[in-house]
Amino acid sequence: MTTETIRQPTEPDSSVTSALKVTLPENVFNDLSAYAEALSYSKSDVIKEAVREKISRDNAWRNKIYLFKKQSLNEESMIADVKESLKMAKKGALVKVAVNSVDQPNNAGGWIFYLARYDNDFVYLELPILGVPSTTMDASTNDISLESGTLSVPIETSIQGVFGPNIQLTYKVPLSYVWNIECNPVLPSTSLNGIGYPNLGNMY
């Protein structure tokens, strides 16, 4: 194994750098060295561009979201209520969460997800692939907490749809970030109108 220390800028034009120690198998290091020398690049620049390319092309990372809490004077009581609602949830249950593509609660939107499963600490929510869930829940986020949100990067699952394979995005959400639950199953609407249509923001 061969190690090399590089200094990675935090942003393209930033003068602030952070040290990163990279350990590579010997054959990969030899390929990197030969490539960099042949094209007159530094090994640090090659690694830096490879990291940027990986991040920019990662579909799960592109679909990351920030979650925001609802204002509450008693979070423990709110979580207890969520757990009681989850006990009544059936297949097709809907969950409302406040979401934004950036960590800015002031312009987050109310998204409606399908409940896939839950455990003692988290719900696992699927973003609808086809249609818009019909729901009595509104998309208002007037009661949003203005504290910073928490990041959620989805798990991708390939599923067979009517018109071919689709990618299902499943988000792991702490119970404290659940705003509301509609326990009874619903069918997707074929219309883009109606209360509860998720505000997809910059995601799509």
Instruction: For residue range 129-150, list pLDDT tens digits in order.
Output: 766 677 878 888 999 999 999 9
Q: How confident is the model at residue 110 (pLDDT cuts 50, 70, 90)?
A: very high
Q: Does residue 44 sit in the same domain as residue 134? A: no
Q: What is the pLDDT of residue 159?
A: 75
Give the three-state DSSP class for 132. Answer: strand
Q: Does residue 43 sit in the same domain as residue 69? A: no
Q: Does residue 177 sit in the same domain as residue 115? A: yes
Q: Does residue 84 sit in the same domain as residue 179? A: yes
Q: Does residue 103 sit in the same domain as residue 24? A: no
Q: Does residue 137 sit in the same domain as residue 48? A: no
Q: Does residue 69 sit in the same domain as residue 21? A: no
Examine residue 110 and state whether it is found in any structural domain, yes or no: yes
Residues 6+ apart with CB under 8 A from 21: 3, 4, 5
The conformational region for residue 70 under phi > 0 = left, psi -120 to 50 = alpha, else beta, is: beta
The conformational region for residue 102 under phi > 0 = left, psi -120 to 50 = alpha, else beta, is: beta
Examine residue 171 and state whether it is found in any structural domain, yes or no: yes
> What span, in angstroms and rounded, lies between the C-alpha atoms of 144 and 109?
10
Q: Does residue 76 sit in the same domain as residue 118? A: yes
Number of residues written out for the chain = 204
Give the three-state DSSP class for 97. Answer: strand
Range of the domain at 29: 2-57
Q: Does residue 16 sit in the same domain as residue 95? A: no
Average pLDDT over residues 49-78: 92
Tell me which of 191 and 67 has the higher pLDDT. 67
Query: The tokens 């199953």 sit on which residue?
Result: 185
Examine residue 195 and state whether it is found in any structural domain, yes or no: no
Is residue 7 over pLDDT 60?
no
Q: Does residue 132 sit in the same domain as residue 172? A: yes
